[in-house]
A and B are shown apart, each in its own frame.
Chain A
Amino acid sequence: MPQMKRTPQDCPSRLPENTAVKQQQLPACRLQLSATGILSGFFATGVFCLGMGVILILSAKSSMEIEINYTKICASCAKLRENARNFDKECTCSIPFHLTQTMRGNVYMYYKLYGFYQNLHGYLLSRSNSQLLGTDVKDVETCAPFSKSHDGTPIAPCGAIANSLFNDTIILSYKLNSSVHIQVPMLRSGITWWTDKYIKFRNPSSSNLSSAFAGTTKPPSWPKPVYELDENDPGNNGFLNDDFIVWMRTAAFPTFKKLYRRLSRTQHFIEGLPAGNYSFNVSYNFPVTRFQGEKSVVLSTLTWSGGHSLFLGLAYTVTGAMTWLAAFSMMAVHLKLKGKRFSPDDKVKL
């Protein structure tokens, strides 16, 4: 077996390498904190949580929010809309309200839906991304059951989400005085994610929008085709319509609000919304009573911490309190046990 002969150098010792890694002798941090360490950590965390809680609560308090539920106020319109055959009948209703305090800063107007499940699995899937991207306007494959009209024309925009587009028109008017009502100037732009408006949604390329959508039909629930969504601003039509884009970003919960308009801070409204009497003029198109839903309009100012929700601030406060409680009880335990231990440093340890 000459080929088996090897020089000693060729057959290294099988002695395993005596390295820290291989022998599992790596210096290890054992998370064995001393009592003081743990307790001070707990107290510090408690302080942080309490502080953060207070800050958040204050911040939330500083924001203003007014919500006006118009489901019941516009009951007659709701009744009308319950019958799908009346879809072409106009129905408006006016909801007056009083703003006791000036809403300073940027004011945002939302519509809020209750009990509308935008997060249903089937609903969620029923859209065509390639259509919305403008690459193939006739790609309606994934849009069932709203992919094609009865005569087989592809629907644009197709799918259940688009079909159920919130189509109430809400106009806020300000009672400057008893006789003069002025419409509060609202911007319908800038309410979408930038990425949605400029990347995820594109109109099919064509010289003019209506020709771009030639060969398609409007969704069954829509009164107008997609390229006529905004008659005032030709750039706000087609898939690039802000309201449409906002609607297409499906909400996480059955109760949700969606940004509708933002205050254009001009004239009387440079400071924000001044206190006074207002009214919403709603063109009531979106049926909610069919599914026992409700809808409302929300006016809100925003702070760095988001909206008016107090939850996070409270949660932080409570957590901070709990942490302190835990820390105190641990300290008690520690002090009680301290005497019994045979070794002075055999304290609370992890």
Chain B
Amino acid sequence: MTEALHWARYHWQRLIHSTNGDDDERPYNYSCLLACGGTSSQTPRPAGKHRLVVPHLQPFKEEYEKFSGTYTNNRIRTTKYTLLNFVPRNLFEQFHRAANLYFLFLAVLNWVPLVEAFQKEITMLPLVVVLTIIAIKDGLEDYRKYKIDKQINNLVTKVYSRKEKKYVDQCWKDVTVGDFIRLSCNEVIPADMVLLFSTDPDGICHIETSGLDGESNLKQRQVVRGYAEQDSEVDPEKFSGRIECESPNNDLNRFRAFLEHSNRERVGLSKENLLLRGCTIRNTEAVVGIVVYAGHETKAMLNNSGPRYKRSKLERRANTDVLWCVLLLVIMCLTGALGHGIWLSRYENILFFNIPEPDGHVVSPLLAGFYMFWTMIILLQVLIPISLYVSIEIVKLGQIYFIQSDVDFYNEKMDSTVQCRALNITEDLGQIQYLFSDKTGTLTENKMVFRRCSVAGYDYCHEENAKRLDSYQEAVSEDDDFADTLSGSLSNMAKLRAPSCRAVHNGPLGRKSSNHLAGSCFVLGSGEGASEVPHSRQAAFSSPIETDVVPDTRLLDKFSQMTPQLFTPLDETIPDPPLETLYIIDFFIALAICNTVVVSAPNQPRQKIRLSSLTGMPIKSLEEIKNLFQRLSVRRSSSPSLASGKEPSSGVPNAFVNKLSLFSRMKLASPVEEEVSPTSESPQGSGNAVCPTEIEKQDSDAGVTDGKVESLPGQSLASSLCYEAESPDEAALVYAARAYQCTLQSRTPEQVVVDFAALGPLTFQLLHILPFDSVRKRMSVVVRHPLSNQVVVYTKGADSVIMELLSVASPDGASLDKQQRIIREKTQKHLDDYAKRGLRTLCVAKRVMSDTEYAEWLRNHFLAETSIDNREELLLESAMRLENKLTLLGATGIEDRLQEGVPESIEALHKAGIKIWMLTGDKQETAVNIAYACKLLEPDDKLFILNTQSKDACEMLMGTILKELQKNPASPGQASLSENLHQPPAPRDSGLRAGLIITGKTLEFALQESLQKQFLQLTACCQAVVCCRATPLQKSEVVKLVRNHLRVMTLAIGDGANDVSMIQVADIGIGISGQEGMQAYVNLLFWYQFFCGFSGTSMTDYWVLIFFNLLFTSAPPVIYGVLEKDVSAETLMQLPELYKSGQKSEAYLPLTFWITLLDAFYQSLVCFFVPYYTYKGSDIDIFTFGNPLNTAALFIILLHLVIESKSLTWIHMLVIVGSILSYFFFALAFGAMCVTCNPPSNPYWIMQKHMLDPMFYLVCVLTTFVALLPRFIYRVLQGSLFPSPILRAKHLDRLTPEERTEALKKWRGAGKIGQVTSKYGNHSATKSERRPTPGSSAVFAMMSPTSCAVEQENLSVHETALDSDYSEMKASEIAGPIKD
């Protein structure tokens, strides 16, 4: 309802807004656009689709009320109910559930006098109880939400108040659109706002978005252009601009708006300028912003659409079984109706039996039969236990509780445990058949380690570095040995993140819920306030393994040639060596500056290292290098395409650019000036001066720096610098550059300072950054080179892309081009080699631009930047114009290290029969390599590669592979099928293992309707599937495809934003196999109908019936469902094969259902007819007869549970004994007090009388014993004749540790035999665990071993844990196993 309200309100506002816009805003906007000098052909869309934000201050009052006044304020309400609407709304919601409607129908039916079976009022009771329990649960949940909301709403932030002319404390809820808000470091942003001021001199501010997307990398935000230059804090009083932005939407990565000054100048705004609600300000002392979206209109809140309801497989199954039960019920009722009709026709005229209506009218047998049908429905309603759903829910809650409190899932470093946020997943966790995994961050640590590089066609393999990494690995694995090999490494990953089960860093709220509040995470999670800061700060930095790159000696040698002396003679006759050196220099400069890395001293994050004015260096060498670069540029300019680039650096273009300086963040201070302004301070000095003092100040941060401070000697400053990058590979490259003394010293929006040891500090004017995006797959920086004073574009990107953008060889075949070509070929070779080694490859290239070229480009780019609509396309186009005719410098290979334990885990998962798909954006070679590395593919696997360019080819190829696979696996299959298909020889005889590699392009074909089936068939034959070069959309499509067509359990794991879609479509869960209870009890009622003329008499007091349903027999199954555990965690961990049984949901096969039904049938027969024959012909009355029946039924139900249960703890005992005692207590109390309270039964003194009668005990004992005997014998025989693997494993648990080890060895040795055994076990009746018990309503027994589930989940989901919050772990030394 709230949503609906919001929706209505939102649309209403839009309506109002658009009418306003029609007569007022639009012309204004047009004129404004023209005023900006834009010649864009793009006409802006009607302003109605946008929102206009004016300051919420006095001078704009009128305007404010006109435009912004109607926007929602920042108060949030995520609760569903209010005090007033709780009852109606909750009831409304509850009656959405078919089961509740059914029970309501029954209750209403009982009010029809003709079919009444029980006392009217009592029939309502179960329904009322169930509804009440659920309502209380919902209410509590809602209340919790309410409290959180309230807490959030009452958070305090500083809002500018005009009255007091300063920022005053205000609650979040009072923040409105147009307010100015001032935030300090580590404060959470209360609403989406445009950044107007940052204490950072460069107008930068960093935010941590972990509350939104789980990524803990710091994101950089910029002050709106034009405000960055202001020295003083922006004065809200003087702020006269208005912001026009798009209507609220949930796209976190898009913000299209512009700021219009009072003079109608417009400045484009992008997401770079937007601070999102729920994020935390980091590394910036204070910021000021103006709120543009508040409350439910913030992007974070709009993203919080609530979790998708994932229906568990079990629930679906249970529902079909319920349908069966309904059918059964109908049959039974029909029998009753028919029987009554026939019976009555015998006695039609006997008023004794055919009791006439009050008016003396006698009902005809036909009609009476019809009435009886409905009466029977009421009577036998318990067949579909009303408490089933309630109990299932309670069981799930219990399971989640135990999952969450499992120590093995606890991550010490993050002080967080697993978070389960969907009720219905627990049971599915045991049934996963397909596992989809992202590569980066999930399988791999997302710790990017620089491995090797190729510069100017020479490969530098960095052997030392490799050695270092190896030694590191050893150290880790030694640590590991302390722990149990497998479980240790698993528990290390200790965090589960899955669609709904997810570990949350420092907060119990996961991605979605933190979106929801995007502040609630703050409330609960970062409640630790200050103490949390070091944690997250750590997260932003890299671990030593990433930072300490050992340089390649060969490359270092080349650096040593790079002395200024070498360059002094401008000897044009020997171009080669210097040219290579130049390449190297350019390469490293590119590594250092072509990124968005932020430099900060670790100890003082807010105080960024600023060296812009410290560029002191010997002028002499500077000159030399300048000469060097000029020489190079001369040479370059000889190439025809760059002929025009010869113009002097200052002049017309500069002037032009100057004009634009307002809009683009670049400073046109002459580079010479810049360089010639050395200061007395040395960079080292200042840097060192800062660090030590800060270390003292902030003890808490000391730990972070330790590793860095003691790194390479002589690099004290450099190594104390920390680089914060958006993506870890950027940082890896910067660290690599640093290792070669090419240290990125500082970065501001205007300039980048690189301390190049050989050349001294170089200050690059940063003209432009074209950020990375997944379409272009590259990023570029445009700088003015301090030495050559040319505009240079450095581009870094995926090799396939860069290679296509390289300048084509010019016709005259200059030596340079030739050389380029050679470099290109060589580099390509190296790249292929890198990829084969599983390295992530990147190419680095550059382009030198003339000023005119640049000016021309800049003008177009500016247009693109300021347009609101189509901005993306325009920007893309603009980037394309810039990033071409590139010169290849080299390539890098970065290793994305596998997470610890990944191979073992994958092996275990394979053993557990889970098919694993790896979906990655990496290139084929890299992906395959990683797949091998993590044992996703085994060396002797058959490998099929699908890589075609057309649909037809794809189809054909798939057909061929399929044929091949379907052939006898033992056949050698030597024939090469096509050029794309290569097979490693000698496939294993036993159980063919096949792996399929498919590329993104081919995947596109395969996912098309016509090929889907074939594709699935194909993949079904493969143990592992690797999809490389897959786009995020494809990833989610693949998951969808498999889930929908194969109808299997899937588990998707992923971390970053690109995996969200994948996760959302996947089901996960462990298998609890809940059940319905087959109602032996109901059958008792049914059998009785044969002896009472099918008249719908119940020989049981209805109260007893109710209590049976709700109390005596519901608690034990719930406990059982929650606590059941068939095999101990240790054994399960060592025998992943055991997982298979859960996967096939063996315990809950349809067959099981019917067997159970049959068993229940037998039990009901026994339970009814033993007492019947005992009392037959005696003077027993109806309700006295019912009493031993009830008692026996209770014992049967409870003892059945005991037989089925795999483990009995004192809790079980307590509950079972409690149930029995409470039953007797109730019966005795009821018998003592109820004289006429419950006609017709009035069980007065019945129980008391019975308890004095030995016959009662004899009957109960015999009934119980006979009823349970078959199942007991069956269990015993099963145990000795066909023990299922699970049973055998269970047996292991009883052994002493030594014996166990021995037995485990034997088990593994007998693995092959074990396969047979397990097959045996499957149909024999392993269904052992989790099978439905007959018994009363509640005994659907939830037979599934939850705890088993939990442990199995350990097994299956630890994978999820891998991805967990990798970034948080990043800084911490690779997390050691957390073993308690």
> Hey, which bits of chain A sit against chain B, CB under 8 A?
1, 3-6, 8, 11, 13-18, 21-24, 26-32, 35, 38, 45, 49, 52, 56, 110, 112, 116-117, 119-127, 129-130, 133, 142, 144-145, 147, 160, 164, 193, 195, 199-200, 249-259, 290-292, 304-307, 309, 311-312, 315-316, 319, 322-323, 326, 330, 333-334, 337, 342-343, 346-350
Across the A-B interface, give the 8 residue pairs with the lowest CB-CB distance, nearest first: A28-B1207, A26-B1209, A16-B405, A129-B1236, A348-B1280, A252-B1185, A122-B355, A5-B529
Q: Check A120–B1097 contact: CB distance below 8 A.
A: yes
The CB with the most chain A CB atoms within 10 A, among B352, B1095, B1179, B1281, is that of: B1179
Tell me whether B975 is interfacial, beta carbon within 8 Å: no
Do residues A16 and B417 form an inter-chain contact, with CB atoms below 8 A?
yes
Known contacts A30-B1290, A129-B1239, A200-B1244; A312 and B1179 CB within 8 A of each other = no
Identify A311's interface contact among B347, B1174, B1347, CB under 8 A. B1174
Cα distance, A316 to B375, chains bound together (Å):
37
Rounded to whole angstroms, the CA-CA distance of A161 and B1236 in the bound complex is 16
Q: Is B643 positioned at the interface, with any CB of A under 8 Å from its CB?
A: no
| B 1253-1294 contacts with A by CB, 8 A | 1254-1255, 1258-1259, 1262, 1265-1266, 1269, 1273, 1275-1277, 1279-1281, 1283, 1287, 1290-1291, 1293-1294
Closest to B1091 in A: A253
User: Which A residue sits closest to B119, measured CB to CB?
Assistant: A125
For A67, give the chain B residue with the smallest CB separation: B1177
Q: Which residues from chain B contact A251 at a C-beta distance below 8 Å?
A: 1179-1182
**What's the least CB distance linking B365 to chain A, in Å?**
14
Contact B531 A8 (CB under 8 A): yes
B1303 close to chain A: CB less than 8 A: yes
A119-B1091, A256-B1177 known; A13 vs B1236 contact (CB < 8 Å): no
Contact between A350 and B1275 (Cβ–Cβ < 8 Å)?
yes
Q: How far is the CA of A139 from the CA of B564 in the complex (A)?
A: 120
List the B residue with the shortest CB-CB distance to A199: B1235
Does B1092 reach chain A (CB closer than 8 Å)?
Answer: yes
Pair B1276/A38 contact, Cβ less than 8 Å:
yes
Query: Are B1174's CB and A309's CB within 8 A?
Result: yes
Given contacts A13-B415, A120-B1092, A326-B1269, contact A309 B1178 (CB under 8 A): yes
Q: Kindly list chain B residues whose C-beta atoms are within 8 Å of the C-beta of A257.
A: 1177-1179
Q: Assuming A26-B1211, A315-B1173, is B1259 touching A334 (CB within 8 A)?
A: no
Q: Which of B410, B1277, B1347 contacts A16 (CB 8 A)?
A: B410
In whole Å, how far is A133's beta carbon from the nearest beta carbon of chain B? 6
Give 1 or 0 for each of B519-553: 1 = CB within 8 Å of chain A CB.
00011001111110000000000000000000000
Nearest neighbor of A323 in chain B, beta-carbon distance: B1269
In this complex, which of A257, A312, A342, A346 has the most chain B Cβ atoms within 10 angstroms of its Cβ? Answer: A312
The complex places the Cα of A238 from the Cα of B453 at a distance, in Å, of 111
Nearest CB in chain B: distance from A164 CB, A: 5
Given A312-B1174, A346-B1291, is A15 in contact with B528 using a C-beta cutoff of 8 Å? no
B1281-1321 toward A: CB 8 Å interface, digit per residue (1/0)? Answer: 10100010011011000000001001000000000000000
Interface centre among A11, A49, A304 (most CB of B within 10 A): A11
> Can you give 24 contacting A-B residue pairs, CB < 8 Å?
A1-B529, A4-B155, A8-B531, A14-B410, A23-B407, A31-B1202, A35-B1280, A117-B1095, A119-B1091, A119-B1095, A121-B375, A123-B353, A125-B1239, A129-B1236, A145-B360, A147-B358, A199-B1235, A250-B1240, A252-B1180, A253-B1176, A256-B1178, A256-B1179, A315-B1173, A343-B1303
B1255 touches A306 (CB 8 A): yes
Min CB–CB distance A75 → chain B (angstroms): 19
Partner of B1123, one of A3, A24, A250, A255: A24
Q: Is B188's CB within 8 Å of the partner chain A? A: yes
B1240 touches A125 (CB 8 A): yes
Contact B1177–A312 (Cβ < 8 Å):
no
Closest to B530 in A: A5
The answer for the CA separation of A85 and B351 in the assembled complex, in Å, is 15
- Given known A1-B187, A257-B1177, A291-B352, contact A250–B1209 (CB-CB < 8 A): no
Asked if B1249 is at the interface (CB within 8 A of a chain A CB), the reply is: yes
Could you tell me if A1 and B1180 are in contact, using CB atoms closer than 8 angstroms?
Answer: no
Quick one: closest B residue to A108, CB to CB? B1179
Chain B nearest Cβ from A111, distance in angstroms = 10
B1380 interface residue (CB < 8 Å to A):
yes
Q: With contacts A3-B156, A30-B1207, A249-B1181 known, is A130 near B1176, CB below 8 A? A: no
B1306 pairs with A342, CB closer than 8 A: yes
Cβ-defined contact, A6 with B528, below 8 A: yes
B1210 at the interface (CB under 8 A from A): yes
Give every chain B residue within 8 A of A45 (Cβ-Cβ): 1265
Asked if B1170 CB lies within 8 Å of chain A CBs, one says yes
Contacts of B1206 in A (CB 8 A): 30
B-side contacts of A350, CB under 8 Å: 1203, 1275-1276, 1279
**Pairwise interchain contact A16-B407, C-beta atoms closer than 8 A:** yes
Q: Min CB distance, A174 to chain B, in Å?
A: 24
Instruction: Report how far A35 CA is from B1276 CA in the complex, Å.
Output: 9
The closest CB in chain B to the CB of A327 belongs to: B1273
- B1154 nearest CB across to chain A (Å): 23
A220 CB to closest chain B CB (Å) equals 10
When C-beta atoms are compared, the residue in chain A nearest to B169 turns out to be A2
Question: For residue A123, which residues in chain B have a CB less than 8 angstroms away from its CB?
Answer: 352-353, 355, 1095
Q: Which of B528, B1095, B1177, B1208 lies in contact with A29, CB distance below 8 A?
A: B1208
Residues of A within 8 A of B530 (CB): 5
CA distance A330 to B654 in the complex (A): 100
Cα-based distance from A311 to B356 in the complex (angstroms):
38
Instruction: Report the separation of the CA atoms of residues A206 and B355 in the bound assembly, to the nearest whole angstrom.
Output: 33
Shortest distance in angstroms between B1085's beta carbon and chain A's nearest beta carbon? 12
B164 within 8 A of A: no
CB pair B528–A120 under 8 Å, yes or no, is no
Indicate if the CB atoms of B1240 and A306 lie closer than 8 Å.
no
B406 in the interface (beta carbon within 8 A): yes
CA distance A14 to B720 in the complex (A): 33
- Are A122 and B1178 also in contact (CB < 8 A) when A30-B1208, A333-B1281 are? no
CA distance A77 to B292 in the complex (A): 101
Q: Does B1192 contact A (CB under 8 A)?
A: no
Name the contact of B1294 in the complex, choosing from A17, A32, A126 (C-beta under 8 A). A32
Chain B residue contacts of A3, Cβ below 8 A: 155-156
Extra inter-chain contacts (17) besides given A257-B1177, A330-B1276, CB under 8 Å: A18-B1380, A27-B1210, A29-B1207, A30-B1206, A120-B355, A124-B1240, A145-B351, A145-B355, A199-B1244, A252-B1180, A253-B1185, A254-B1092, A256-B1180, A316-B1262, A319-B1265, A323-B1269, A330-B1277
- B1236 contacts A145, CB within 8 Å? no
Residues on B with beta carbons closer than 8 Å to the beta carbon of A8: 528, 531
Instruction: Check A122–B1095 contact: CB distance below 8 A.
Output: yes
**Are A160's CB and B1279's CB within 8 A?**
no
- B416 near A: Cβ within 8 Å? yes
Nearest-CB residue, chain B, relative to A19? B405
Q: What CA separation (Å) do A242 and B1032 show in the bound complex? A: 86
Q: Nearest chain A CB to B415's CB is how many angstroms away?
A: 5
Residues of A within 8 A of B352 (CB): 116-117, 123, 160, 164, 291
What is the CA–CA distance of A199 and B1248 in the complex, to the nearest angstrom? 15
A99, chain B: closest CB distance, angstroms: 21
Complex contact A121–B1174 (CB within 8 A) = no
Q: How far is the CA of A292 from the CA of B352 in the complex (A)?
A: 13
A304/B1254 contact (C-beta < 8 A), A119-B1182, A195-B1245, A330-B1276 known: yes
Q: What is the minimal beta-carbon distance from B366 to any residue of chain A, in angstroms? A: 17
A14 to B156, CA, bound (A): 26
Beta-carbon contact of A315 and B1170 below 8 Å:
yes
A350–B1178 alpha-carbon span in the complex (Å): 41
Nearest-neighbour CB distance to chain A for B1299, whole angstroms, equals: 8
CA distance in complex: A326, B1259 (Å): 22
CB-defined contacts of B1180 to chain A, threshold 8 Å: 251-252, 256
**Which of A14, A195, A334 is packed against the most chain B CB atoms within 10 Å?**
A14
In the complex, whether B350 has a CB less than 8 A from a CB of chain A is: yes
Chain B: CB-nearest residue to A114: B1177
